[in-house]
Amino acid sequence: MHLQRIDMVWLGLLAATGVTVALGEAGVVHGHAWALLTIFALVLLKGAWIALDFMELRDAPPLWRRLVLGWLVLVVALIVLAWALTLRV
Amino acid sequence: MRGCHPRCDRGEVDIIGPSEGLVASSILAGRTSLAPFLAAGKLCSNVSWGCPQLQMTSPGLTTIASASSRHADEPRLRGDLAIWFIIALEMLTFGVMFVSYAFARSVDLALFNASQATLDLRAGALNTVLLLTGSWCVARAVHALRADASRNGARWLAAAIACGLGFMVSKGAELGQKFAAGIDMSTNTFYMFYVMLTAFHFMHVAAAVVLLVIVWTQARRGAYADGNMHTPETVAAFWHMVDLLWIVLFPLVYVMR
C-alpha cells in the first residue's frame, strides 16, 4: 500500500504530538519560553494539517480556508499573549 | 481530468436535475457504469471523451454534466454549508473559552499550576493520539468511499468510531475520577474551566461518534460513491473540527504549566 498525503499528515501529527508530550514530560515548559513557543508553533502546524488536508480546505474556496486558519492563528496568538503576561510575575 | 471535453455523438437528450459534476475518473478507470445520479445536462447514447491523454468512447446510455470538465478543478467546500456554519460557531465558542482560560490563568498562576498538577499528561496524550488517528481513519474512509470502495470505506469508519469510543472511555474515566474526588465546576477557577472545556468537548465527540455510526450503517449498504458524498463529507468535517479543537485544548490545559 503506497502512502498517500493523508497518511504522511497523520504520521506528522503523531510526531508533533510526541514532541509536545516529550516537552511536557521533561518539565521544561515552565520557565523556558522556547519550549512553550515550540508547543504552540506545533499547534499551528497540526491545526493547519487538519484544516488543509483532513478538512480538505486546501482545495476549498479561500474564504473558509482563511477563516479556519485565521481562527487558529488568532487563538494561539492570544494564548501566547496571555502567557507572556505571566513572564513579568 | 484536465482538458477532458465530453461530446455527444448521437442520441442526445436534455434532462433536468441537480448538478453534481461528472464521474470522469470512473470512466477513465475502465468502469462502464456510472454511479447513479442526476446531472444537469444530457443523456447521450455515445459519448466521446476528447482528452489530451486519452481518446475513448463510451457506448450505451451515459449521463454527462454540462461544464463537467471544469468541475474537477474548481475549488469546493466539502460537506454541507450548514455544517460549516456550525463549525464556525463552535470555533468561536471554544475560541472564546480557550482565550478566557489563558487570561484567567495569567492572573492566578499559582492556583492554576497547583490544580493542573492533578491532571494526567499521559492520559491527555493518549486522547490526542486517539482523536488524530480517528481523523486519519475518517479521511481514509472518505477517500475510499469517493473511490467507490464502500466496504473499505465502512471499515475505515468503524476504525474511526472505535477511536472515538476509546476517547470517550478514557475521558469519561478521567472526569469520573475528578468528580469522585469531590471536584466540580465550583471548586476553583481552574476546575471551572477544566470541567467546562473537557465536558463540552466530550459532548461534541459523542455527537461526532453518533454521526459516524449513521454514516457507517449507510456506507455498509453501499449508499455512498463519488458524486454522492455529501453526507460523509459533512460528517467528516464535523469530526475534524472536534479534533482541531482538541489540538488546542490539550497543550493549553495539560501541557502549559
* Reported confidence tier of residue A86, pLDDT bands at 50, 70, 90: confident
Q: Which three cell numbers stand for residue A24?
A: 511536557
- Residue A1 is predicted with a pLDDT of 55
pLDDT (mean) for B217-243:
95
Domain that holds residue A39: 5-86
Do B118 and B102 meet the contact criterion of CB atoms below 8 Å apart? Answer: no
B91: nearest CA partner in chain A: A71
pLDDT of residue B1: 43
DSSP B55: E
Cross-chain CB nearest to B139 (options A51, A54, A61):
A54
With an 8 Å Cβ cutoff, are B256 and A29 in contact?
yes
More confidently predicted of B53 and A56: A56
Structure-block grid coordinates of residue B221: 449498504
What's the CATH code, domain B81-255?
1.20.120.80
Q: For residue B65, is pLDDT > 50?
A: no
Q: What percent of chain A has a predicted confidence (pLDDT) above 90?
A: 83
Q: Which residue of B has its CA nearest to A76?
A: B248
Residue type, B40: A
Mean pLDDT of chain B, nearest integer:
81
The answer to whether residues A29 and A42 touch, using CB atoms and an 8 Å cutoff, is: no
Distance from CA of residue B252 to its chain's centroid? 24
Q: Higher confidence at residue B84 or residue B32?
A: B84
Residue type at position B81: L
Q: What's the total number of domains in chain A?
A: 1
pLDDT surpassing 80 at residue B22: no
Higher pLDDT pick, A65 / B50: A65
Share of chain B above pLDDT 70, in %: 72
Is B22:B6 a contact under the CB 8 Å cutoff? yes
pTM of the model: 0.79
Q: Tell me what ipTM this predicted complex has.
A: 0.95
Shortest Cα–Cα distance, B65 to chain A (Å): 21
B191-202 confidence digits (pLDDT tens): 999 999 999 999
Q: Which helix (H) or strand (E) holds A67?
A: helix A62-86
Determine contact: B95 vs chain A, CB below 8 A: yes
Cβ contacts of B252 on chain A, cutoff 8 Å: 79
Residue type at B225 in one-letter notation: A
DSSP secondary structure string, B158-170?
Answer: HHHHHHHHHHHHH
Rounded Cα gap, residues A59 and B78, in angstroms: 9
A9 to chain B nearest CA, in Å?
A: 8
Please give the residue of chain B at the shortest CA–CA distance from A13.
B132
pLDDT of residue A31: 81
Delimit the domains of chain B by residue range: 5-71, 81-255
Local confidence band at B8 (pLDDT 50, 70, 90 cut-offs): low
Residue A54 in this model has a pLDDT that exceeds 90:
yes
pLDDT at B74: 83
Asked if residue B237 lies in contact with residue B84, where contact means CB atoms within 8 angstroms, the answer is yes
